[in-house]
Amino acid sequence: MLTYAGLSLLALFTAFPFLWLLATALRVGGRVFGFPPPLPWPLGLDNFLGVWRTMPIPRFLLNTVLITGAGVGLNLLLCALAAYPLARMRFPGRHLVFFALLSTLMLPGHVGLIVNFVTMTKLRLIDTYAAVVLPSAVSVFGIFLLRQQYLTIPQELEDAARIDGASEFGIWRRIMLPLIAPGLATLAIFEFVAFWNSFLWPLVVLKSPERYPLAVGLLYLSGLFAHNTRLIAAGAVIMTIPILVVFIFTQRYFIRGITVGAVR
Amino acid sequence: MRSPPDAVAPPQAARPLAAAVLRRRRVLGLTVREWRTTAIAYLFLLPGLALLALFTFYPVAFGTVLSLYEFNLRTLLGTEPARFVGLAHFRRLWEDRVFWLALANSLKYVLVVPVLQVCAILLAVAVNRPLRGIAWFRAAYYVPVITSIVVVGLVWRWLYEQDGIINYVLTRLGLLDRPIAWLGHPTLALYAVMFVTLWKGLGYYMVIYLAGLQAISPEYEEAAMIDGAGRWQVFRHITLPLLRPAILVASTISVIAAVKVFEEIYVMTGGGPMFRTFTLFFYIFDVGFQRFDFGYAAAVAVVLAVGVMVLSAVNFVVFRRGGFEYY
């Protein structure tokens, strides 16, 4: 019983900021700050309707969906392609490629902030979705994750397909890809969270607010309408709900993905 | 009706023979079949490796070069050539007071690591029990990890307000005489942001330690219990040493993240008040994208890169020393 009390207290510590956010977003009128803190009453959805109608939240949401969709899709495709030969083929340079990939986990990624901006300017991609997505369109974490998954597939399946005359691409497409589905699901969820929440890079390469994803747009709006805490809070709730829904249904994948990432 | 065997035999025998010869012939040390596999392998690797080369490997090399050049907005737009300045940027860094302030703040930020790791280990031990509903508690502790830093930063900014709820609770409990503007306070602002990093990161490290704990065979702990060891002794002398690999991984990740902290600061304080929460990464962003002095920003990035590598090496050595006799 004491254990549950302790665990609940800790849960309150992690959940409290969210509860406060929700209460603020649902409170229809009155002040947000001040002593004593106002009670969340009266409740209503006015702030959600307000932020949806008066601020470009639908546009930001659409941008976020486009960026996240493209990012997740590209990661699944490119990681599934790149991990395949690393797991199941022998060829000269395999070890070199493997260690090059491993080294990226130690490389100072932040240098990319400056240089990739210069590259994007040269490619004339500044202020496009492509500039947001491309630098993280393939994740080394994803390649390692899927490589592990490919390694578990028995060799007999591959041999049988080859005897039946399947091409290399056909073997990958029809035999391998369906069998790494659990790995693909884990990767999809992780990349979904990463792209949905990505903030710094879009902030750097996007110039026009009509292309902002929610993370950048929300901060932009909070700067423009600093006094309107309730509307911004409603926007923050709108941004958080999809992540929470995905998380509630896919918890076990998160735990697995992180431990793969940690033990590598 | 079947053809006479000797009429069909030559072509049938010839084909495998030719194929066998072809298979054995080596071009540059590889057989034709091996060349084919190699070509296919690199075709599969090509799109991914090309993107990594352009956006991950190339920046490391070009970033170092860039730090030796004067490269500003005019250079970027092509109206002025990049000018080689050698180590001038690094000399300028030496004299740059804001750089030293940022460096000091980044190092101070590492103070969050031991606190964060100790809390995460205790949390992992607390949830590593077969209790009913424990999965929901673990999930609850993990939610801050997957929430956008913008949402988290905005909410904590509101909680930290002078007339916000944190000040209300602390003054009512008598812990504060009067409300504090946490994020506007010259010394407390950095620690206030660090607290948010702690709050957001706990669940992430908890999962790493949970995996570490679950890899420990319960027999060790049971044997120690039978020998009369108390719960604290078991934790101190059995669990903690066995958890060392997890601690190494988690604290390395955490140190690097702390030195490179940016987003929390950008959302919550914008580097203020008076540069008191200015960190190295924030300085790179500021020099690069507010002042468009890309060469100088690259120089700061190189210093940060060296720092990160040194710190992770130190971290590795410290945890390795004396740690691996258990395996």
Question: With a cut of 70, which residues of chain B have pLDDT below it?
Answer: 1-24, 319-327
Instruction: Show the domain range for A194.
Output: 57-263
Residue A243 C-alpha, separation from nearest chain B C-alpha, in angstroms = 7
Residue A56 is given by DSSP the state S
Q: Is A18 contained in some domain?
A: no
ipTM of the complex in this document = 0.91
Question: In the structure encoding, which two tokens stand for residue B211, read together?
Answer: 């995996």
What is the tens place of the pLDDT at every residue in A142-180?
999 999 999 999 999 888 988 988 888 999 999 999 999
What pLDDT, on a 0 to 100 scale, did the predictor assign at position B4? Answer: 45
Q: Is B186 contained in some domain?
A: yes
What pLDDT, on a 0 to 100 scale, did the predictor assign at position B320? Answer: 63
What pLDDT, on a 0 to 100 scale, did the predictor assign at position A261? Answer: 46
Q: Is B223 contained in some domain?
A: yes
Closest by Cα among A66, A188, A76 to A130: A66
Share of chain A above pLDDT 90, in %: 64
What is the tens place of the pLDDT at every residue in A242-253?
999 999 888 877
Q: Is B69 contained in some domain?
A: no
Q: Give the whole-angstrom CA distance, residue A256 versus residue A259.
A: 5
Question: In the structure encoding, which two tokens stand for residue B231, read together?
Answer: 């719960």
A chain contacts of residue B309, beta-carbon cutoff 8 Å: 106, 108
Closest Cβ opposite residue A247 in set B49, B146, B154: B146
Does residue B173 share a domain with residue B24? no
A249: domain CATH number is: 1.10.3720.10
Residue B309 C-alpha, separation from nearest chain A C-alpha, in angstroms = 8
Q: Which residue on chain A is closest to B157 by alpha carbon? A: A17
Does residue B42 share a domain with residue B101? no
For chain A, the distance separating the N- and C-terminal CA atoms, rounded to the nearest angstrom, is 38
Does residue B262 share a domain with residue B167? yes
Q: How many separate domains does chain A show? A: 1
What pLDDT, on a 0 to 100 scale, did the predictor assign at position B32? Answer: 86
Q: Is A13 contained in some domain?
A: no
Task: Kindly indicate the confidence band of residue A264, based on its pLDDT and cuts at 50, 70 and 90.
Answer: very low
Do B239 and B202 touch, CB atoms closer than 8 A? no
Q: Is A234 contained in some domain?
A: yes
A chain contacts of residue B66, beta-carbon cutoff 8 Å: 114-115, 118
What is the tens place of the pLDDT at every residue in A56-74?
999 999 999 999 999 999 9
**B203 and A CB contact within 8 Å:** yes
B chain contacts of residue A68, beta-carbon cutoff 8 Å: none
Cβ neighbours of residue A66 under 8 Å, at least 6 residues apart?
A: A129
Residue A208 is given by DSSP the state S
Q: Give the whole-angstrom CA distance, residue B39 versus residue B50.
A: 15
Instruction: Show the domain range for B23.
Output: 5-47
Question: In the structure encoding, which two tokens stand for residue B36, read together?
Answer: 């084919």
| Cβ contact A262–B40 (<8 Å) | no
Do B230 and B169 touch, CB atoms closer than 8 A? no
Q: Is A183 contained in some domain?
A: yes
∠ at Cα A172 (A167, A175), nearest 5°? 100
Does residue B164 share a domain with residue B25? no
**A108 and B CB contact within 8 Å:** yes
Does residue B103 share a domain with residue B162? yes
- Say yes or no to pLDDT of A90 above 60: yes
Does residue B99 share a domain with residue B37? no
Q: How many separate domains does chain B show? A: 2
Q: Is A52 contained in some domain?
A: no
Closest Cβ opposite residue A199 in set B58, B123, B149: B149
Q: Is B64 contained in some domain?
A: no
**Segment 277-306 of chain B within 8 Å of chain A by CB:** 281, 284-285, 288-289, 294, 297-298, 301-302, 304-305
What is the tens place of the pLDDT at every residue in B159-183?
999 989 999 999 999 998 889 999 9
**Segment 304-323 of chain B within 8 Å of chain A by CB:** 304-305, 308-309, 312
Q: Is A22 contained in some domain?
A: no
Q: Is B52 contained in some domain?
A: no
- Locate the DSSP E strands across chain B: 26-27, 30-31, 69-70, 83-84
Does residue B287 share a domain with residue B213? yes
**Segment 26-45 of chain A within 8 Å of chain B by CB:** 32-37
What pLDDT, on a 0 to 100 scale, did the predictor assign at position B122? Answer: 93
B198: domain CATH number is: 1.10.3720.10
Q: Which pTM was predicted?
A: 0.89
In Å, what is the CA distance from B227 to each residue of B223, B230, B235, B236, B239? 6, 9, 14, 15, 15
**A148 and B CB contact within 8 Å:** no
Q: Is B80 contained in some domain?
A: no
Q: Is B70 contained in some domain?
A: no
Rg (CA), chain A: 23
Residue B29 C-alpha, separation from nearest chain A C-alpha, in angstroms = 10
Does residue B245 share a domain with residue B142? yes
Does residue B15 share a domain with residue B125? no
Residue B219 C-alpha, separation from nearest chain A C-alpha, in angstroms = 23
Q: Give the whole-angstrom CA distance, residue A107 versus residue A137.
A: 18
Q: Is A191 contained in some domain?
A: yes
A chain contacts of residue B134, beta-carbon cutoff 8 Å: 7
What pLDDT, on a 0 to 100 scale, did the predictor assign at position A67? Answer: 97
